[in-house]
Amino acid sequence: MKLSYHSGLPMVNYMMSRTGINVGLKIAQFTANSFLPKTYLNDVDSLKPFLLLVNQNDLLTANEKDIIAIAEPIGIQDNIEFYTITVNKIRSLYTQKLNEVLKTKWYLNNNSSNVYCADSTATFFYLNQHIDVNELFENNDSMMNKNGEEIAFEGKLPYTDSLTVTFWGRSKNNIYGFPNLKLDEFDVTGNQVSHYDSHLSPSFEFNECTKRLTYTFKPKNIDNLIKIFISGKKYNYSNVVIQKAGSNFIFKNNNGNWFWNNYPSKTTLLN
C-alpha cells in the first residue's frame, strides 16, 4: 500500500471486506489461463499500469508466470518482488494464446465428432455437456436447480496414461461457494482403491464468475470403475471433459460454441 501510494500505481485487491463477490471473482480471473480475456479490464477507467506484487516463496501457476514474464520489474524488498504491468500487455496475452491455438494443426478425433486434437495419437476424449455452459456464464438463476450430489461420469477408462478431468460449475448468487468434484475408483471386486475431493484443491480458475475445476489422475487399472460426482447447493454444471493429460483439444459443443481444453472461445477455432 505504501508503494502504491508513493508511486501512484493502482492495486487491484479482492481480499477486502467490502469487495462484492462478483467483482472479486472478476479480479481472480487475472490468474486464469491467458486464453480467457480478462473481463475486469473492461471496467477499468484508466490505462495506468497496475502494481504487481510477487512473493518469491509462493508456488506460482503457469498462468501467473505468463503475467510476470511480460511485466517490468521495479524493485525488490526481502522476498517480495514489485513489477508494473500495463492493461494492453495483459490483453496481449489473450491475443498471443488465441493465435497459437489458431495456428495449431488439428486432427479429427477418431472417437468423437466435432473434437480435434493436436496430437494425432491422443484419441481419448469424453464430453458430458449436460447444459449449455453459457447458462452458467450468463448467470441464469433458473438453471441453478440442483441440490446434493449426482454422478457426472461412471464407467471404465481403458487408458494407461494420466487423464485430466475438468468441468464448469456455478451456484446461485445468494449461495456461498461453488459445486464440488469428487472422484472415486473401484476395483473389480467393488473395493474403493482411490478417492479425491476437490473441496480444498487449489486447481481452479474463473470465467464470468463461474468456476472451472481441474484434476489430473491415473487409473490404477484399466478394468477399474471410475465414478465422478458433482455436488453443491442450488447449483448446476456443464462441460465435464476427460482428456489425455498434457494434450490439447478443441471441440464444438451441441450449441455450436468452440472450446480449447475446455476454455470457451468467442472465436471460431477451426473452419
Rounded Cα distance, 12 and 120, in Å: 42
Q: What is the pLDDT of residue 14?
A: 66
Running DSSP on this structure, what letter comes out for residue 264?
Answer: E
Q: What is the mean predicted confidence (pLDDT) over 211-240?
A: 96
| Whether pLDDT at 45 is above 80 | no
- What is the Cβ-side half-sphere exposure of residue 248, based on CA atoms within 13 angstroms? 14
Running DSSP on this structure, what letter comes out for residue 72?
Answer: E
Residue 16 confidence class, pLDDT cut points 50, 70, 90: low
Are the C-beta atoms of 76 and 82 separated by less than 8 Å? yes
- Beta-bridge partners for 217: 163
Q: What is the pLDDT of residue 153?
A: 97
* Identity of the residue numbered 213: L
* Residue whose grid cell is 472415486: 184
Where are the domains positioned within the chain?
2-103, 107-265
Rounded Cα distance, 114 and 231, in Å: 29
pLDDT in tens, 168-183: 999 998 788 899 999 9
In this structure, what C-alpha cell is assigned to residue 180? 464440488
Rounded Cα distance, 181 and 169, in Å: 10
Q: What is the pLDDT of residue 169?
A: 97
Quote the radius of gyration of the chain (alpha carbons, Å): 20
| Whether pLDDT at 4 is above 90 | no
Which residue, among 119, 115, 91, 94, has the nearest Cα to 105 in the 3D structure? 119
Which residue, among 237, 240, 235, 230, has the nearest Cα to 262 in the 3D structure? 240
Residue 11 confidence class, pLDDT cut points 50, 70, 90: confident
Of 106-110, 120-124, 184-188, 229-233, the one with minimum mean pLDDT is 120-124
Q: What is the pLDDT of residue 190?
A: 96
Are the C-beta atoms of 219 and 208 separated by less than 8 Å? no
Running DSSP on this structure, what letter comes out for residue 71?
Answer: S
Whole-number mean pLDDT of the chain? 91
* Identity of the residue numbered 227: K
CA distances from 107 to 79, 248, 267 (A): 45, 11, 19
Q: Calculate what percentage of the chain has a pLDDT beyond 90.
A: 72
pLDDT in tens, 99-122: 999 999 999 987 788 999 998 877
| Whether pLDDT at 210 is above 70 | yes
Report CA torsion sign: 259, 263, 265, 269: negative
Of 63-72, 144-153, 200-209, the one with minimum mean pLDDT is 200-209
| Whether pLDDT at 166 is above 70 | yes
CATH number for the segment(s) 107-265: 2.60.120
